[in-house]
Amino acid sequence: MVFCGRVNPITGSLVWIEEDENYDYHQEIARSSYADMLHDKDRNEKYYQGIRAAVKRVKERGEEVIVLDIGTGTGLLSMMAVTAGADYCYAIEVFKPMADAAEQIVKANGFGDKIKVINKHSTEVTVGPDGDMMQRANILITELFDTELIGEGALPSYEHAQHNLMQECWEAVPHRATVYAQVVESHRLWSWNKLLPMQLDSRTVQPPSEMESCPGAPSVCDVQLSQVKLEDFRPLSDILVVFRVDFSKQISSSPVSHIVNFTSLANGAAQVVLSWWDIDMDPEATINCSMKPSWLYPALHPVPWRDHWMQCVYFLPKETKVTQGEEMSLIAHQDDYCVWYNLTTPSAADCHSTEIAACRCGAHITWNRARFGELNDQARMDKYKEALKEVLTPSSVCLCVSDGSLLPMVAHSAGAAQVFTLESSFMAQQLMDKLLQTNNLKETIHILQKSQDNITAADLGEMKVTALVGEPFFTTSLLPWHNLCFWYSRTALSRHLAKDCTVLPMSASLCVLVVEFKDLWRIRSPCGNCEGFDVSIMDEMIKKSLDFRESQEAEPHPLWEYPCRALSDPSNLITFDFREKVPTEDIIAEGSLNLVRSGVCHGVVLWMSYQLTEDISVSTGLLEVSDETGDCHWYPHRKQGVYFFSSLWNLASAPKESQSAVTYQLTFKPQIGELRMSFIPKT
């Protein structure tokens, strides 16, 4: 056992936890996408078809079939190769626990004499009588791809293997990859990248000029693009082939730029590049596995679902106005790990800078994509504005407690005489300072870059706070209830609050809903048998790691990307009263959730709803449920908590005379800032 220091996201305090020395291993297994990949039937079938075709081509040349499988994981692709007729297979896996599992799986399926699992990085593998491989391979099988295709270091791994581990002539599965892109205008997607002007009654909050001109964060935004509606963007280009990678030829990981010329389809503002890729498993491109979004499939065509590979949203460094029929050049810059884009005219394409864009304003370092979207949510901000107008007066002394919030400016606009804002980090303080200066509020709103425990009366001008407000939002929060940090801040600030101090939000409720997921259940569902191979050892590893995890009760997911149906009515299980201090005794809720719809019960979703005033509330989770279908509409700018059941529960098979329900027991332990939960399906 080892002791590790951690900051509790709710209390904000540092705690020392005794952890098993295998903690990091269990975390990596629990957070992996192994189950998702093993459930990806389309991927598995296409790989199997491609492997069989490659083995056949080598055998037709009269050669012994020697396979190199880089990143073997469970060993599935290696077993496919031997089943297809390969004479021997070297399966490389750098993660030791996974390599050990692959060795067990290979032996359990009877392939121990034909598959050698090598626990090394592929660049460390040697060939020769005393090496890891007795001879070079003539079929190269890999699954080194991520949503961006090359983000897991696929190109350097291919480059080294082709130089050092492969014969002069080799087959590759997949054979080639093609990256596609489309230039679009999208207010919704652009609001994930820029702070847009915010209307506050008689004035508009403007972003600082350096924020407007900032090229943004260089990292790709990976999403389930199928859940972005067609009306949320306007195509300005056709779908373009940006570049191809032929894995059967020598690959270079050196930086390169690809220039693609196109004619603009419409007038608009070019802001975003949507991108995805596909892989051909054979030279003739008859076996294709595509990552394209669902709206590009023909009607009624089955759409493969996968979470380990999604689609990419790239934000252009600046918004560019284009006119219909105008010739433009999209430039894709590629190094050994990532891709980034620029847009220019054909005449300027050759002299365009190849440097990757990086944030200069600090906002893209302080706020993630979802937070940008939340700050740009005018409807949400209007609710806060309405609530603050109800509680603030010209004599109000207002203190805002949230990370990087616009509420101080809303409070000032609502009429507060004095406004203070508590910023937890130097970066957030600098960002707020720029915002206030741009909007001529630097002398009106006072920034306190201190912890709530260190605030003094002098910091507040010897005044008592008459209105304590928050969204609440804290950058350290992962799960919805982590933002109860606001309650602990309110308690720590009690000595500075007036007796009749208004607290907004006045309370928060922990809400739950029993759901059937369309696809997300796959990431936690046992695989057992995959394409005829027993991989149940992997199921045992994942289950053990999930049971081991500290946060085994729930995990965060942005449910707007993952369709689901409500099987129960939404319920408020615990209400936290922010008008009072954090209690010392546990808060316990027990009961049952009656199920009102049939379906397969996959788990429970949890979120927070905040009561700003008696008649104004905001939800960070469920927004609407369809009465007819039970389809759920989720708040898109926060992640919700998902508690997966250990096994699927089909309500259609439950006795009709019984009332199906999910019993629950929740315990919030204020002393340590921990929420413990148990949900059990019952009939």
The three-state (H, E, C) secondary structure of 64-77, written as one string: CCEEEEECCCCCHH
Residue 390 CA neighbour count, 13 Å, CB half: 17
pLDDT of residue 549: 47
d(CA 567, CA 573) in angstroms, rounded, equals 17
Is the distance from CB of 228 to CB of 462 less than 8 angstroms? Answer: no
Per-residue pLDDT, 393 = 94
Helix and strand numbers (H, E) in the chain are: 15, 38
Would you state the pLDDT for residue 550? Answer: 44
Token couple for 393: 């007066």
Spell out where 518-655 has E strands: 529-530, 533-534, 555-557, 564-566, 571-577, 587-594, 600-613, 616-619, 622-625, 632-634, 640-650
Average confidence (pLDDT) over 175-190 = 98
Q: What is the pTM of this model?
A: 0.94
How does residue 540 score in pLDDT terms, banded at 50, 70 and 90? confident
- Residue 640, SS3 per DSSP: strand
What pLDDT, in 10s, does the model give residues 134-169?
A: 999 999 999 999 999 999 999 999 999 999 999 999
Q: pLDDT of 554-602, one tens digit each?
A: 999 999 999 999 999 999 999 999 999 999 999 999 999 999 999 999 9
What tokens does 203 get?
A: 């004035």
Give the pLDDT of residue 6.
Answer: 67
197 secondary structure, DSSP code? P
Mean pLDDT in residue range 72-94? 97
Domains parsed from the chain with CATH numbers: 34-173 (3.40.50.150), 177-366 (2.70.160.11), 377-503 (3.40.50.150), 507-682 (2.70.160.11)
Selecting among 93, 103, 143, 471, the annotated active-site residue is 143
Give Cα 410 distance to the centre of its chain.
30
pLDDT digits (tens, 9 = 90+) for 104-120: 999 999 999 999 999 99
pLDDT 10s digits, 251-279: 999 999 999 999 999 999 999 999 999 99
Confidence at residue 7, expressed as pLDDT on a 0 to 100 scale: 76
Greatest alpha-carbon span in the chain: 90
User: 25 or 319: which carries more pLDDT confidence?
Assistant: 319
Name the band, by pLDDT with cuts 50, 70 and 90, for residue 551: very low
**Look-up of token digits 């979470």:** 307
pLDDT higher than threshold 50 for residue 614: yes
pLDDT, tens digit, 9 for 90 and up, residues 468-485: 999 999 999 999 999 999
Q: Which residue has the tokens 């706070």?
A: 465
Question: What is the tens place of the pLDDT at every residue in 326-335?
Answer: 999 999 999 9
Q: Let me know the angle formed at the C-alpha of 307 by 304 and 310, rounded to the nearest 5 degrees.
A: 80
Helix (H, G, I), strand (E, B) or coil at 524: helix
**C-alpha distance from residue 213 to each of 453, 658, 674 (Å):** 37, 62, 42
Spatial separation of the C-alpha atoms in residues 73 and 64, rounded to whole Å = 25
pLDDT for residue 463 is more than 50: yes
pLDDT tens digits for range 356-407: 889 999 999 999 999 999 999 999 999 999 999 999 999 999 999 999 999 9
At 524, the pLDDT band (50, 70, 90 cuts) reads confident
Give the Cα-Cα-Cα angle 462, 468, 472 (nearest 5 degrees): 140
Is a pLDDT exceeding 90 seen at residue 189?
Answer: yes
Note whether 338 and 314 are within 8 A (CB).
no
C-alpha 547/C-alpha 536 separation (Å) is 17
Query: Which segment of 171-180, 237-246, 455-464, 539-548 scores lowest on mean pLDDT?
Result: 539-548
Q: Which among 373, 418, 363 is positioned nearest to 208, based on CA atoms? A: 363
Whether residue 174 is preceded by a cis peptide bond, meaning omega within 30 degrees of 0, is yes
Q: What is the DSSP string of 36-88?
A: HHHT-HHHHHHHHHHHHHHHHHHHHTT---EEEEES-TTSHHHHHHHHTT-SE
pLDDT at 655: 47
Catalytic, 471? Answer: no
Average pLDDT over the chain, rounded to an integer = 92
Catalytic residue among 19, 45, 63, 152: 152
Confirm whether 628 is a catalytic residue: no
User: Are 444 and 417 in contact, with CB atoms under 8 Å apart?
Assistant: no
pLDDT above 80: residue 654: no
